[in-house]
């Protein structure tokens, strides 16, 4: 992990170029959005996305929101729809995130979506966020720029309080105006409110011309959405179809082996035992092994650093279903 000093950058053209170059090199850059400061990484770079989870100290892999500069960019990654278009016209750029089916050939790291086949995407309205997205010319995955379990940062000082020394840079452009995360609407395909946030449900319903569904278990849970999954559940939803056996030193019978460190498998998470590299490969390798149709054995992964999040996911994958 990067433990050198975190640079504080301003918003002049030179500093934006520096921030963009850092993102391009796979480093982490915190940046302001109208909602909260985000911890950004190139969403196509699995190692960089894994480093987000390491810097935040997240004990599990939650799918992340990808930030793009406009609707045309969004259409490169997700299957667009008339409803998406209507909501984007009404609320983008702004504090609304849309969850849509991933498009073939999207090129994003599977760690961004935690292996799901949908993507959360938004166009922020903050001019510095947009300037950075243009300069970096890549989709930027960004959760809130705070350590796991701490409150979301609405200033560069908050970001540095939690992440100084763990990220390459923070772009300081003062306090966030909304100060609350984006509203998340699932469109797969019926509109459903997955997280309340900066855009009100009333304004969404006005734009849609009808009421929104709510996930089951939600206080406003609507019966018509009974078979749609809430984000917390969705976040833990991807699991291989195959049977998964953990802490395996070798494959047995028909199994394919997912290796780590000294234990070389059919696919190996990291031959050198690097947990960030292992996290970067986790979902891609699980998907690939699952396609063989054979049971999957997984080598032991240490319970330190990103190993906690990897083991959390593997334990869920191995749980009886």
184 binds ligand TXA (CB under 6 A): yes
Q: Supply the minimum distance, in Å, between the C-beta of residue 14 and ligand TXA.
A: 24
**CB burial of residue 230 (10 Å; 0-12, 13-18, 19+):** buried
**CB burial of residue 117 (10 Å; 0-12, 13-18, 19+):** exposed
Stretch that binds Mg ion, among 1-9, 70-78, 116-124, 139-147 (CB under 5 A): 139-147
Q: Supply the minimum distance, in Å, between the C-beta of residue 30 and ligand TXA.
A: 9
109 binds Mg ion (CB under 5 A): no
- Residue closer to ligand TXA, measured from CB, 191 or 259: 191
- Residue closer to ligand TXA, measured from CB, 9 or 299: 9
Q: Supply the minimum distance, in Å, between the C-beta of residue 23 and ligand TXA.
A: 14
User: How many angstroms separate the CA atoms of 177 and 240, rounded?
Assistant: 41
68 binds ligand TXA (CB under 6 A): no
Q: Supply the minimum distance, in Å, between the C-beta of residue 143 and Mg ion.
A: 5
- Among 27, 28, 36, 130, which residue interacts with ligand TXA (rule: CB under 6 A)? 36
225 binds Mg ion (CB under 5 A): no
- Among 6, 18, 33, 109, which residue interacts with ligand TXA (rule: CB under 6 A)? 33
> How many residues of this chain interact with ligand TXA, rule: CB under 6 A?
26
Q: Supply the minimum distance, in Å, between the C-beta of residue 33 and ligand TXA.
A: 5
First to last CA, the chain: 36
With CA atoms as reference, report the closest residue to 36 among 120, 168, 154, 194: 154
Stretch that binds Mg ion, among 104-112, 140-148, 154-162, 246-254 (CB under 5 A): 140-148
64 binds ligand TXA (CB under 6 A): yes
- Residue closer to ligand TXA, measured from CB, 20 or 99: 99
- Residue closer to ligand TXA, measured from CB, 18 or 182: 182
- Residue closer to ligand TXA, measured from CB, 237 or 245: 237
121 binds ligand TXA (CB under 6 A): no
User: How many angstroms separate the CA atoms of 169 and 19, rounded?
Assistant: 7
118 binds, among Mg ion, ligand TXA, none (CB under 5 to 8 A by kind): ligand TXA
- Among 143, 153, 261, 265, which residue interacts with ligand TXA (rule: CB under 6 A)? 143
65 binds ligand TXA (CB under 6 A): yes
Residue recorded with tokens 């793009």: 68
144 binds Mg ion (CB under 5 A): yes
142 binds ligand TXA (CB under 6 A): yes
Site residues for ligand TXA per CB under 6 A: 33, 35-36, 38, 62-65, 97, 99, 113, 116, 118-120, 142-144, 181-182, 184, 194-195, 231, 234-235
Binding stretches for Mg ion (CB under 5 A): 144
């Amino acid at each position: 992990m990067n433990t050198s000093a975190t640079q504080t950058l301003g918003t002049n053209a030179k500093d934006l170029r520096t921030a963009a170059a850092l993102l391009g090199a796979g480093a982490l850059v915190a940046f302001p959005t109208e909602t909260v400061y985000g911890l950004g990484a190139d969403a196509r770079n699995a190692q960089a996305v894994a480093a987000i989870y390491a810097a935040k100290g997240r004990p599990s892999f939650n799918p992340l929101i990808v930030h793009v500069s406009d609707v045309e960019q969004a259409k490169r990654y997700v299957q667009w729809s008339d409803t998406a278009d209507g909501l984007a016209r009404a609320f983008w750029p702004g504090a609304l995130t849309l969850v849509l089916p991933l498009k073939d050939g999207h090129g994003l790291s599977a760690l961004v979506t935690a292996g799901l086949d949908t993507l959360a995407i938004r166009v922020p309205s903050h001019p510095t966020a947009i300037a950075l997205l243009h300069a970096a010319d890549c989709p930027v995955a960004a959760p809130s720029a705070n350590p796991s379990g701490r409150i979301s940062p609405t200033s560069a000082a908050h970001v540095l309080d939690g992440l100084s020394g763990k990220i390459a840079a923070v772009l300081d452009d003062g306090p966030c105006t909304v100060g609350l995360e984006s509203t998340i609407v699932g469109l797969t395909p019926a509109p459903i409110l997955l997280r309340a946030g900066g855009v009100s449900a009333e304004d969404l319903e006005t734009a849609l011309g009808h009421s929104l569904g709510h996930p089951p278990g939600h206080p406003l849970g609507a019966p018509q959405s009974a078979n749609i999954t809430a984000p917390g559940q969705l976040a833990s939803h991807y699991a291989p179809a195959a049977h998964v056996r953990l802490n395996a030193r070798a494959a047995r019978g028909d199994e394919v082996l997912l290796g780590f460190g000294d234990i070389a498998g059919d696919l190996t998470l990291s031959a050198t035992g690097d947990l960030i590299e292992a996290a970067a490969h986790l979902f891609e390798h699980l998907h690939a092994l699952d396609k063989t149709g054979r049971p999957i054995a997984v080598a032991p992964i240490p319970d330190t650093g990103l190993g906690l999040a990897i083991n959390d996911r593997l334990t869920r994958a191995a749980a009886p279903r």
